[in-house]
Amino acid sequence: MNSIAARLDRIFGNAAFDKLLLINTTQKDSYFTYLTGLYAGSFESSILIADRKKALLITTVLEYDVAKRSCPKEIRVVAAHSRGKTMELLKDQLRNKTVGVNGAFIPINLYRRIRKLGKPKRMVDAGKALAGARQIKDWPEVELIGIANNIVKKAFSKIEGSLRVGITEREVAKEFDSMMREYGADAPSFDTIVCFGRNAAVPHHVPGKAKLEEHSFVLIDAGARYAGYCSDVTRTFIFKPDRKSDKYKRMIDMYDTVKEAQQIALKSIKPGIRCEVPHNKAMEYINKAHNGIYKGMFIHGLGHSLGIDVHDVGPNLSPGYKEKIQENMVFSDEPGIYIDGFGGVRIEDDVLVTKSGGKFL
Ligand code: GLY
Ligand code: MN
Ligand code: MN
């Protein structure tokens, strides 16, 4: 069974619908990529209608050839030359069926139109069935996330060579993105974050015109997208440190504390453990370090699911997530300490959950 057939099988496992319908708008539904493998191209207005064994892709003449060449054999591809043809296909596929849609994606006006044109018996939200399948990665997905992860790490291994006094955050972000492309990325997986000095205290700072100075924090949070899959990695450096200064000692202590918190979290990532546990362990370690000097300074969740989307379908490693961690989930592990007016440290790596526990990619 190839991976698309296996994905359909998982989605339809206990599904309360006979047909699954995904429709793109000007945005591509990431489940469309999940099921067709079509990660490039916009496929605007394309419709995928699947059942347990096979699927029909209704696309436009613009992308018919690409789809025909790239889709797996379970997917029959047709080009609809007119609205009339699309209506005919919809009626043929959906009439009197219970049709599942991605309720988190389909706009209400399209939902109504499909209901009117396709005349299904019922339309239901397939969100749970879709997420249940996708939050567990299969082998091709793990491999692609691994490649995306290698690309961003290669860029990290080179970027320090580009840092010089006076370079701006924006220039570093641009350089980082171009390195990722050089190493094989299709694109950055999100807008690269570069923070100098005290800007590192803002977790999602937008890189601007700040110039790099000696003895400063450099925090870079970036990811590569490769064949539809994302990586998400953060590194914090100290640029031209003054190793004798108190500032340096403080910076290094923050770094070491975050690094240890990340390891503590990693060790608790295991199948069967509640998703909130690794977060709570990292938080507790940071809050208690040196009698509480960093208490309350780890201000966000420890991690999130990672896959086709950088914040992917699936649970977060955050307070309140009682779901159990499962084998072959992929998460980020990204504790941080943020000190307003001074700077911040975040270290982020991507973790595959194996039978025996979490492993950094
Ligand atoms: N890059 C955003 C995040 O780490 O979640
Ligand atoms: Mn990140
Ligand atoms: Mn992240």
| 149, 177, 202, 234: residue to mutate for ligand 1 pocket, most atoms within 8 A of CB | 234
Report strand pairing: 336-339 vs 343-346.
antiparallel
- Written as tens digits, the pLDDT of the chain (361 aa) is 568 889 999 999 989 999 999 999 999 999 999 999 999 999 999 999 999 999 999 999 999 999 999 998 889 999 988 888 888 999 999 999 999 999 999 999 999 999 999 999 999 999 999 999 999 999 999 999 999 999 999 999 999 999 999 999 999 999 999 999 999 999 999 999 999 999 999 999 999 999 999 999 999 999 999 999 999 999 999 999 999 999 999 999 999 999 999 999 999 999 999 999 999 999 999 999 999 999 999 999 999 999 999 999 999 999 999 999 999 999 999 999 999 999 999 999 999 999 999 999 9
What the block records as the tokens of 17 is 């619908």
Please state, as a whole number, how many other Cβ atoms lie within 10 Å of the Cβ of residue 52. Answer: 15
CA of 229 to the centre of ligand 1 (A): 15
CB 334 less than 6 A from any atom of ligand 1: yes
Long-range contacts of 268-273 (CB under 8 A, 24+ apart): 269/317, 269/325, 269/331, 269/333, 269/351, 269/353, 269/357, 269/358, 270/325, 270/353, 270/356, 270/357, 270/358, 271/324, 271/325, 271/326, 271/327, 271/353, 271/355, 272/324, 272/325, 273/324, 273/325
**108 C-alpha to ligand 2 centroid (Å):** 32
Residue 232 Cα to ligand 2 middle (Å): 5
Q: Is 348 touching ligand 1 by the criterion CB < 6 Å?
A: yes
d(CA 254, CA 304): 23
- State how far the Cα of 122 lies from the Cα of 259, in Å rounded to an integer: 51
- Give, for ligand 1, the residue of 189, 221, 331, 347 to mutate: max count of ligand atoms closer than 8 Å to Cβ: 221
Sheet order of strands, 229-230 included: 187-188, 224-226, 229-230
Round to whole Å and give the CA distance between 234 and 223: 9
Measured in Å, residue 42 CA sits from the centre of ligand 2 at 25
Q: Is 221 in the pocket of ligand 1 (CB under 6 A)?
A: yes
* Cβ-based neighbour number of residue 341 at 10 Å: 6
Domains and CATH numbers, the chain: 3-134 (3.40.350.10), 139-360 (3.90.230.10)
Q: Is the CB of 190 under 6 A from ligand 1?
A: yes
- With b for 16 or more beta-carbon neighbours within 10 A and e for fewer, the 87-114 pattern comes to eebbeebbeebebbbbeebbeeebeeeb
Give ∠ CA 35-133-185 in degrees, rounded to 5: 55
